[in-house]
Amino acid sequence: MPRLTKLDDVLFPVAEHPVFVSITEKDGERRLAVPEKKAILNQKTSRVLGIVSRSYRLVDNREALEMANQCCRTVFPETKPGEWSVNAVDAPATAGYCHIDLVHNSASLDFNSVPPDQRPDLFGPFIRVTNSFNGLRALGFNIGFYRKVCKNGLIIPDTIIRFKFTHQRRDIGETIQFKIAKDKLSQFKNTFTDSLAGLRKCAVPRPQFEPLIQGVLSLRPPQPLKPDTREAKDWQSLGTHLGEMSTRYAGELGPNAYAVFNAITEFASSPPENRCVHRDRHSLQRLAGSWLASFTTECAKTDFHLDKYLAELLKPKPAPTEKPPRSLSPAEDELFARN
Phi, psi (deg, nearest 5) at residue 145: -130, 150
Q: Where do the domains of the chain lie?
A: 3-56, 61-193, 202-304
pLDDT score for 44: 93
The residue type at 334 = E
pLDDT score for 331: 44
Give the span between the Cα atoms of 239 and 89, in whole angstroms. 27
pLDDT score for 76: 84
Choose the weakest-confidence range: 14-28, 105-119, 236-250.
Answer: 105-119
What are the pLDDT digits (tens) for 96-151? 999 999 988 766 566 555 555 455 567 778 889 999 998 888 899 988 888 777 76
pLDDT score for 105: 78
Residue 259 pLDDT exceeds 70: yes
Give the span between the Cα atoms of 274 and 286, in whole angstroms. 19
Residue 333 pLDDT exceeds 50: no
Phi, psi (deg, nearest 5) at residue 79: -95, 165
**The Cα angle at residue 81 between residues 286 and 130, in degrees rounded to 5:** 30
What are the pLDDT digits (tens) for 59-99? 999 999 999 998 888 888 888 878 899 989 999 999 999 99
What are the pLDDT digits (tens) for 314-327? 987 665 444 444 44
